Amino acid sequence: MSFPLLTATAALPALGAVATAAVPAAQRTAAKWLALLVSLATLALAITVLLRFDPDGARYQLTESHAWIKDFGVRYELGVDGIAVALIALTAVLIPFIILAGWHDADPLETGSRRWRPTQGFFALILAVEAMVVISFEATDVFLFYIFFEAMLIPMYFLIGGFGDRAHEHGEETAATQRSYAAVKFLLYNLVGGLIMLAAVIGLYVVADNFSLQEIASARANGSLHMATSTERWLFLGFFFAFAVKAPLWPLHTWLPNAMQESTAPVAVLITAVVDKVGTFAMLRFCLQLFPEASRWATPVILVLALISIVYGALLAVGQRDIKRLVAYASISHFGFIIMGIFAMTSQGQSGATLYMVNHGISTAALMLVAGFLISRRGSRLIADYGGVQKVAPVLAGTFLIGGLATLSLPGLAPFVSEFLVLVGTFTRYPVIGIIATFGIVLAALYVLVLYQRTMTGPVKPEVSAMPDLRVRELVVVAPLIALLIFLGVYPKPVTDIVNPAVKQTMSDVHKKDPKPEVEAAK
């Protein structure tokens, strides 16, 4: 029997979470190192998955299938395609940096009558989220996917509500109230989406008599499973609603700015760079593959919603006074580009959307983690409380600038390639949508450059005059992320080679082909 590599990749951080939580309270440093070592070991397994995956081979590889709940046809069924492999690698790469960046975020601190939760719990919860995200990318049984899609809400709720940002201008009592509000809002929005999806999952079982993604998709393709048009559309809407909340897509996005504002910077990165990717990934894997006709039917409305997300998120980012809320609204705009690429129904658009998921994760991590280092020094999230930082902390300012330039998709940095592919793929089929979406690029340049100008340039404010530059641990976090942004900006081929075959198969699922060029090439 072959080694269950996919199970091991998800089980290792889960076991690491249990072990980290069990470390004695007095051994906080040991818990941190244990969590970091587990995340690095998980990265090694993810790299092994990447190396063993053959982009030109079968659609789902490294598969595992075991009976679980026989009476309901539920199986423990795993498998990865190129899209899943890329996102598992992204998750495994980011978690060690998240742990390092949050090294002191959960250290005990007395503040009046309140005390921070044990350090061990903070790092154990991060590893638990990693385990659930990884198995969500691997699951090819719809019910198995649903369980972990919902279960990841529990550790995220405690990370937001129990280990929130300490920088708050209105004191600890108000901060605790706002953290609780953000955590509850996050939980309620995603629970409602999950409950609607559960009804759709049950409906799918009634129609198909099993939960296997591969079996249902195969039966639909060969005509042995017939689904009424109205039934398919209702089931699609149930799945898509849950994924749109997680993504987040306008108008289901309002939980994200609160959650990111009240979280520590590493947890904010965990939310938008890791957890939210499950929503857009699931649109590709489940919505398009299980409900091709309904996906085509809903495309015009979804593209309009994605376009609103792009412009609305960028406009609100321009007017933000809080650094974290600015990054949150920028992410809403970027997720609009990703969803637009998915439902443009072109190979360029879907390849760009998948590449955008990876590149957005890296660029947001770089920008938000450097912003977190900045906020921890000044003790404020407000843009107006900064000025002249580049004169006293030039390395911090420089890395902040690179992260910001990546966010606005500067050519030569990774997000540019993916955003360009999304726009090209959209324009070839929906030119008006593609043209309007480019306005989001202009707004991105505005909010990023204004943010840099107000925080890093100008006279040095007295409150930042003694601000230290990045320390060794912080450089270890930021430098590899910047290196990845430059490498993938210049040479994205390693990622596109992995995802393109999976994208072609997804295009085949929805019976779509790329539009023919209006002007034929010269012979």
Alpha carbon distances (Å) from 127 to 20, 192, 294, 310: 9, 25, 36, 31
The C-alpha atoms of residue 214 and residue 206 are separated, in whole angstroms, by 17
Asked if residue 146 has pLDDT above 90, the reply is yes
The token pair that represents 16 in the structure block: 């690491």
In a domain, 468, yes or no: yes
Q: Which domain holds residue 372?
A: 302-512
In a domain, 368, yes or no: yes
In a domain, 192, yes or no: no
Average pLDDT of the chain is 88
In a domain, 276, yes or no: no
Residue from 343, 341, 340, 316 nearest 330 by CA: 316
The C-alpha atoms of residue 203 and residue 237 are separated, in whole angstroms, by 12
Other Cβ atoms within 10 Å of 207 Cβ, number: 15
- The alpha-helical segments, DSSP class H, found in 379-413 are 389-392, 394-407
Residue type, 26: A
Asked if residue 112 has pLDDT above 50, the reply is no
The token pair that represents 150 in the structure block: 């919902």
In a domain, 354, yes or no: yes
**417-460 pLDDT, tens digit each:** 999 999 999 998 899 999 999 988 899 999 999 999 999 888 88
pTM (2 d.p.): 0.90
In a domain, 246, yes or no: no
The C-alpha atoms of residue 172 and residue 97 are separated, in whole angstroms, by 27
Question: Considering its fold, how many domains does the chain have in total?
Answer: 1
**24-68 pLDDT, tens digit each:** 877 888 889 999 999 999 999 999 999 999 988 888 889 888 888
Instruction: Identify the pLDDT of residue 169.
Output: 54
The C-alpha atoms of residue 1 and residue 243 are separated, in whole angstroms, by 35
- φ, ψ of residue 103 in degrees (nearest 5): -55, -40
Contact between residue 196 and residue 241 where contact means Cβ atoms under 8 Å apart: yes
Contact between residue 403 and residue 370 where contact means Cβ atoms under 8 Å apart: yes
In a domain, 474, yes or no: yes
Angle between helices 439-456 and 323-343 (to 10 degrees): 160
Other Cβ atoms within 10 Å of 125 Cβ, number: 26
Contact between residue 16 and residue 43 where contact means Cβ atoms under 8 Å apart: no
Instruction: Identify the pLDDT of residue 170.
Output: 54
In a domain, 376, yes or no: yes
The C-alpha atoms of residue 297 and residue 81 are separated, in whole angstroms, by 25
